Amino acid sequence: MPLLQVEELRVSFRTADGIVQAVRGVSYDVEAGQTLGIVGESGSGKSVSTQTIMGLTRGAQVSGRAVFEGKDLLTASTGDMQRIRGAKIAMIFQDPLTSLHPYYKVGWQIMEMIQQHESVSKDDARKRAVELLRLVGIPHPDRRVDDYPHQFSGGMRQRAMIAMAMALNPALLIADEPTTALDVTVQAQVLRVIQRMQEMFGTAVILITHDLGVIADVADEVLVMYGGEVMERADRRTLFFNSHHPYTEGLLQSLPAYGGARERLRPIPGQPPSLLSPPPGCPFAPRCPYVMDRCRTEDPPLAAAGEEPGHISACWLPHRGSERAELRRKLLEAEPAGTAPSAGGA
């Protein structure tokens, strides 16, 4: 049985303008020790889906199931969730400066996490905090443990958040855009820290990002989300070398070609749909270069997309490679009128 099994998760929010359908029928599994990458543009529902699993979307209308170690997190009591958060499931947020309390020392905040869930002395908690800071690569951790968050650089703050998240050896770590505000070099270092901690503790990881390049070397499986729905799911190699969905293709073409010849980046034209009133049919149809008539009226189901096991895609394009390539060629030659103009970007 998977460590985490999410089934038909739906999340909506009531606003003054109407009901925002943030997540619409998302399902996926995470095995113990596995890294699942969830990728999509801003507004695709990837962060809301994982925050809901953690019980952090109060006031939302939620349906579906999220079974973790045999317990449905969506129906768990407040007390159960307090025992699970931090100890069993930990989360790293996008901006560590807003996640770490500015009034308290970094080491104190790690110690508080430990003492909240375990009966240990202050001295033992401090020793563990120092060791965790050492493991994530903080220099002179015995001194830096007494620093405040503002005395750490952005990369060091993110490392401190990883140390706090791993303080209790959780079974699952959710990293929500953990490298967005960092430069490329520090981003790579932070990802290596997450990998090293995962290898040491056997932790499963859900890595949320808008950049496929971030998960190119770390994810075992990749889930592509758009408009609150799953567009495609595959193992990492299949997704990068034999993707099926046009949205995945657009994300891949938006990546810089490091070390190779590339004229320009190719952004996806148009803008993501409003989740107040999602369009009929496929949510990506208004921006898709291969759009067909049925795409505008019928929402394609997730179905097998090739010979690789577990590769699924929500698209009306044929799943056989040769047939898909031929139809794509014909659709591009026809220049469908419904394709969005080249304004805006991914």
pLDDT in tens, 215-231: 888 999 999 999 999 99
247 is a domain residue: no
| Percentage of the chain modeled with pLDDT above 90 | 60
136 is a domain residue: yes
Mean of the pLDDT values across residues 245-250? Answer: 93
pLDDT tier at 73, thresholds 50, 70, 90 = very high
Give the pair of three-digit tokens for residue 177.
């855009």
Residue whose C-alpha is closest to residue 167's, from 141, 199, 130: 130
Please report which helix (H) or strand (E) contains residue 61, including its range: strand 61-68
Give the Cα-Cα-Cα angle 10, 209, 84 (nearest 5 degrees): 60
149 is a domain residue: yes
- Note the pLDDT of residue 55: 92
280 is a domain residue: no
CA distance 41 to 60: 21
Q: List Cβ neighbours of 111 (8 Å cut-off, separation of 6 or more).
A: 122, 125, 126, 128, 129
With beta carbons less than 8 A apart as the criterion, state whether 224 and 232 touch.
Answer: yes
Q: What is the DSSP letter of 263?
A: S
- Note the pLDDT of residue 6: 97
CA distance 272 to 85: 32
Q: Pairing state of beta strands 172-176 and 4-15?
A: unpaired
Q: How many CB atoms lie within 10 A of CB 77?
A: 9
29 is a domain residue: no
CA distance 305 to 307: 7
Give the pair of three-digit tokens for residue 30.
């995470």
What domain range includes position 134?
98-169
Q: List Cβ neighbours of 178 (8 Å cut-off, separation of 6 or more).
A: 92, 93, 94, 158, 161, 162, 190, 194, 207
Q: Is 63 helix (H, G, I), strand (E, B) or coil?
A: strand
**What stretches of the chain show up as alpha helix (H) in DSSP?**
46-53, 78-84, 96-99, 106-117, 122-135, 141-144, 154-165, 184-201, 236-241, 246-253, 321-334
182 is a domain residue: no
Taking only the tens place, the pLDDT of each residue in 251-306 is 988 887 644 555 677 788 899 999 998 889 999 999 999 999 999 999 999 999 87
Q: How many structural domains is the chain composed of?
A: 1
148 is a domain residue: yes
pLDDT tier at 345, thresholds 50, 70, 90 = very low
| The pLDDT of residue 160 is above 50 | yes
Mean of the pLDDT values across residues 314-322? Answer: 78
| The pLDDT of residue 308 is above 50 | yes
CA distance 304 to 73: 29
| The pLDDT of residue 96 is above 80 | no
Q: Write down the residue that tokens 């889906």 correspond to.
A: 49
Mean of the pLDDT values across residues 231-258? Answer: 89
43 is a domain residue: no
